[in-house]
Structure 1
Amino acid sequence: MTAIMTGLFAALLAISVPVGYALIIAAGAAILWQGGTPTVLAVVKLFQPTQSFPLLAIPFFILSGSLMMSGTLGQKLVQFAAALVGRFHGGMGQVTVVGSTIFGGVSGSAVAEASALGSMLIPWQKKEGYPAGFAAAVTASSSTIAGLIPPSIPLILFSTVANSSIASLFSAAVLPGLMLAGGMMIVCYLSGRIRNFPRLTDAGQLKSFGRSMLSALPALAMPFFIILLLRAGIATPTEVSVIAVFYALLVSLLLYRDLTWERIYAALVGTVITTGVVMLVIAASSLVGHVLITERVPTIVANWALETLGSAILIILMMNLIMLVVGMFLDLPAAILLLGPTFVAIGHAIGMDPIQLGVMICINLSIGLFTPPIGTTLFIGAVIARVPIGAVVKELWPFYIVAAAVLVLMSYVPALTIY
């Protein structure tokens, strides 16, 4: 069954069938070919995971991010980032990285962040004299920080696969997210100094910085607010996501006073579309998981890895290499749901903490978002900047080095994630 499903899935992807539909068709065909599984049971397996209570957090976090990012707050965040780092070498690139880190604490989605932030900052960088390829590269790479900073949608998905604490995953991912941001800011600084990129000379004035930080404070506080509620046991992840929506509505209505019915409608429509795509992949991955579990694929792969490779160091290296390849072709949620069950079994076999494994998987697959041939944020950045993909990839190599360094640290130094 597994061989049939894998071959058919690859063939469907090759002819550009959407991932969710390709998974359902491939898994359904494998089940029908093998027989033995009633059709009713297959349908139940398809819809069962979408009824999970923790998954309700996904649409609410998406909605809160849409409400906050689409209004005045988004402009305030960019102004704060400019006041904070704009006066340094490569300041415009650093503004993008800082903005991505803060926006990640609001949206939880790298794709949403690349679209929203890129549409503001890439034209601005080009206008200031930055190469279009560099502007797109910074946006494509730094937007993936949203996969780590709470409320990260990928971490929520992994928690459902591994049955792990969302609060623990959120807490563990903050440090690697900040490390990625710091490394990318260093790349922007060195590039700006070597290539003599322009700087925002008046962006570092103390008075301007103080005003912009105060204006952006509601968004700056959001990830800490989320972690505090979760770690203190005050609310469940789903309850926190609902609170985040009310928080976004109150901030827009009372503080910035820019809430309109048009914004609410646009945010709701965007949330429904995004949630529909994610839920389709979740439903499809459940059917795929049924095929894999029926044939004991996770257990067989885990045993093979232990017997063949032996060393935990080599097994972790193998998992990372597989994810790097898969991440180039599959979007992050689909890859997590497909690889998660097998890698959780392997991680358990070598004594790897599931929290560390979840952070490692999210970092690794996030790299695929700005890696050709099918990097989502890479394409978004290139389209907004109006440059060929090749021009962006040439500017990305130092960002790949930073992401790879953080990935290695998170893979082999457990203390950085389970502190």
Structure 2
Amino acid sequence: MTVNMLISFVLLMLMAMPVGYSLVISGWTALSVFGSMPSSMVVMKIFQPTQSFPLLAIPFFVLSGSLMMSGKLGQRLVALASMLVGKYPGGLGQVNVVGSTIFGGVSGSAVAEASALGSMLIPWQKREGYPGAFGAAVTASSSVIAGLMPPSIPLILFATVSNVSIAALFIAGVLPALMLAIGMMTACYVTGKRRNFPRLTLKYTAQEVRSILITALPALLMPVIILVLLRTGIATPTEVSIIAVAYALMVSALIYRDLTLARVVAALSGTVMTTGMVMLIIAAANIIAYILTSGGVPQAVAQWAVDTLGNPILVILAINLLLLFIGMFLDLPAAILLLGPTLVSIANAIGMDLVQLGIIMCVNLSIGLFTPPIGTTLFVASAIARERIGSVVRELIPFYLVAISVLLLVSYVPAMILY
């Protein structure tokens, strides 16, 4: 049954069928046609994971990010980032990285971040004399920081697979996210200095500095509020997500005063579409997980890894290589939900903390988002810049080195995550 499911899934993917539909059809075929489960039971397996209270955090976090990113917030954050780092070599690239880091604490979605920031910053960089491919590379790579900064949607999905605390994952993701940001800013600095990119020459008065800081402060407070509420146990992740929506509405209506009915409708529409896609994958992945678990596949793979490789260092290396390869072809949510149960079994077998595993998976699969042939943020940024994928990939080489360095640190220095 497991073999039939895998063959069906691969064939459907080769036919360019969306991942969610491929999972549903291959899982249903394996259970109903090659197995003995009635179709009614398969339908129940599909809808069972969608009735999870913690998963309510996903649509509310997506909605809060949509509400804040669609208004004046983006302009305020870009102004703040420009004031902080725009005057240095590669300054506009560093503005992009700083903006992505802050936006990551608002949206939790790398693709949404690449679309929102890329449409603002890539044309600006091109007007200032930066190569379009470089601007696309910075946007494609830095936007994945959202996968680690609270409220990270991928970390919420891993929590549902592994039964790990969402709050623990959120807190553990902050330091790797900041390490990615610092590394990418360094790459922008070195590249800008070596290739003599233009710098911003704006000078700010003390009054302008205060004004920029004050207007950007509401956005900067969003991730702080999330972390404080979770760390102190005042609210659950689902309750925090609802608070985030209320906060976004209040900031937009009372502080920025740009909340309109059209913005609310657009944010709700985008939230429904994003949540629908994620939930379809979650529902379908439950069938696949049931088939694999009932066949003892995760336990068998974990035992094979331990017996064959032996050394935990080699096991972690094998996990990283597998995830880097899978991330090139599968989108991040689908990969987490499909591989999560098996990798959790392997982690338990070698004594790895599951919080560390969650961060390793998110960093690995985030690299896949800006890696060909199916890198989502790579395609989004390249389309905005109107540059060929090959040109953007060449500019991405320093950013790949940064991301791999951070991946090795979180893999082999667990204290960085479990502090």
- TM norm. shorter chain > 0.5: yes
Match of residue 96 from structure 1:
96
Deviation at 1:31, TM superposition (A): 1.3
Q: Which amino acid aligns with 1:149?
A: M
Deviation string, structure 1 residues 338-364 (Cα, Å, up to 9, x no partner): 010000110011000011110110000
Aligned residue number for residue 57 of structure 1: 57
Residues 1:263 and 2:230 are matched in the alignment: no
Task: Output one character per residue of 1:263-296: Cα deviation in whole Å (capped at 9) or x when no partner.
Answer: 0000000000000000000000001111101111
Describe the shift of the 1:216–1:28 C-alpha distance in structure 2 as closer, same or farther (beyond 3 A): same
Looking at structure 2, the residues matched to 25 and 324 of structure 1 have their Cα atoms a distance apart, in angstroms, of 26
Q: Measure, in 2, the Cα distance between the counterparts of 1:140 and 1:209.
A: 29
Q: How do 1:172-187 and structure 2 match up within 5 A?
A: 172-187=172-187
Give the aligned partner of residue 353 of structure 1: 353
CA contact (8 A) 1:281 1:334 kept: yes
Separation in 2, partners of 1:384, 1:306: 45
- The 5 Å alignment of 1:76-95 reads 76-95=76-95
CA distance in 2, matches of 1:270, 1:293: 34
Q: What's the TM-score, normalizing by structure 2?
A: 0.99
Q: Larger deviation: 199-208 or 18-27?
A: 199-208
Q: Which runs of 4+ in 1 moved over 4 A?
A: 203-207
Gaps of at least 5 residues in structure 2 are none
CA contact (8 A) 1:82 1:203 kept: no
Give the counterpart letter for 1:69 in structure 2: M
Are residues 1:302 and 2:302 paired? yes
Q: Distance in 2 between matches of 1:205 and 1:271?
A: 40
2:315 counterpart SS class: helix
Distance 1:60 1:142, change over 3 A: same
- Distance in 2 of aligned mates of 1:156 and 1:221: 21
Map 1:287-326 to 2 at 5 A. Answer: 287-326=287-326
Please tell me whether the aligned partners of residues 84 and 209 of structure 1 are also in contact (alpha carbons under 8 angstroms). Answer: no
Corresponding residue SS for 1:151: coil
Q: Distance in 1 between matches of 2:120 and 2:242?
A: 28
**How far is 1:207 from its partner?**
4.2
2-side partners of 1:195 and 1:207: how far apart? 34
Matched to 2:366, the amino acid is S
Instruction: Give the direction of change, closer, same or farther, for the CA distance of 1:206–1:316 in structure 2 (3 Å limit).
Output: farther
After TM superposition, the structure 1 = structure 2 runs for residues 39-78 of structure 1, keeping only pairs within 5 Å, are 39-78=39-78
TM-score (norm 1): 0.99
Match of 1:233 in 2: 233
Residue 10 of structure 1 is matched in structure 2 by: 10
Residue equivalent to 1:220: 220
Partner of 1:120: 120
Deviations 1:300-348 (A, max 9, x none): 0000001000010010111111100110011100000001000011001
- How many angstroms does 1:206 deviate by? 4.9
Residue 203 and residue 39 in structure 1: after superposition, are their counterparts in 2 closer, same or farther (change >3 A)? farther
- Alpha-carbon RMSD across the aligned residues, in angstroms, is 0.9
For residues 46 and 203 of structure 1, the distance between their equivalents in structure 2, rounded to whole angstroms, comes to: 58
- 1:198 alignment counterpart: 198
Inter-partner Cα distance in structure 2 for 1:2 and 1:365 = 24
Amino acid at match of 2:55: L
Q: Is the 8 A contact 2:32 2:38 kept in 1?
A: no
Deviation at 1:57, TM superposition (A): 0.2
Runs of 5+ consecutive residues of structure 1 not aligned to the other structure: none
Hey, what does 1:382 align to over in structure 2? 382
Report matched runs for 1:153-168 at 5 Å: 153-168=153-168
In 2 relative to 1, CA 192–31 (structure 1 residues): closer, same or farther, beyond 3 Å? same
2:298–2:345 CA contact under 8 A, matched in 1: yes
The farther-off stretch of 32-41 and 113-122 is 32-41
Please give the per-residue CA displacement for 1:165-207, whole angstroms capped at 9, x wherever unaligned: 0111000000000000000000000000000000111156654
